[in-house]
Structures are given as C-alpha cells and as structure tokens.
Amino acid sequence: MSTPFQEQLEVFENSFPQRDYEIEITCPEFTSMCPKTGQPDFGILVFRYVPDHLCVELKSLKLYLQKFRNEGIFYENVTNRILDDFVQVCQPRRAALESHWGARGGITSVIKVNYVKQE
C-alpha cells in the first residue's frame, strides 16, 4: 500500500546484485513535528541496508525526508513509516533504520526497526 510522500523515492539498478554488501546512509538533519504540541522534533536517521536489485537514489531520499517537516507524527510512527516506504520502493534483502531524537524535557529516544526479506 502506498503512503503519502512515497512517490518521491527513486531507485537505480544495483550493479552488484550477486553480492551482499551493506550501504549506510546518515541523515543528520531530519525534522518532523510533535502531534501533541506542534513543536519541531529533531532527529538523526541512520539507514543500513543490503540491496537486492535496486538502490535508493540519495537526492530523492533527501526530498522524501523533507516532506515530513510539517507532518505531525510520533517518533515510533515516523520511523516505522519511513522504513516501510523504503522497503516497498527499494525491495532490499535486509534493512534497518535507527532514529535518534534530540532531548525534549531531558529525555532522548532511539527507535530501531528492522526488515528481512522473506524467501
């Protein structure tokens, strides 16, 4: 099922589909909004994935992530939604996403989600 913003993601052919190798992408300036307060939330996203036949195009990933700037969404929800969209478009063998959230009221959060392709 397609979600809002997903159409922003683009892919290209993996030149080495016969090999397992990991790609790590760090996005240090992710922002969304707290749905309770309307205040901005600041996070660092770390993607790790083993591509199958497709790789994500980085500019499209950046533009996709920018769509969340004005989105009122909880940390857990945005992290899971981003990984779901990423997996649906890129179809990797394995993928993980960690979101590290800035302090709010003296509390920080780290959300970790994983995906493994079912054979």
Enclosing H/E stretch for 93: none
Distance (Å, whole) CA 89 – CA 54: 9
Active-site residue identified among 20, 27, 34, 90: 34
C-beta of residue 41 within 8 angstroms of C-beta of residue 85: no
Q: Is 41 a catalytic residue?
A: yes
Q: Is 20 a catalytic residue?
A: no
- 22: Cβ–Cβ under 8 A, 6 or more apart, which residues? 48, 49, 50
Active-site residue identified among 20, 27, 41, 84: 41
Q: Catalytic residues, which ones?
A: 34, 41
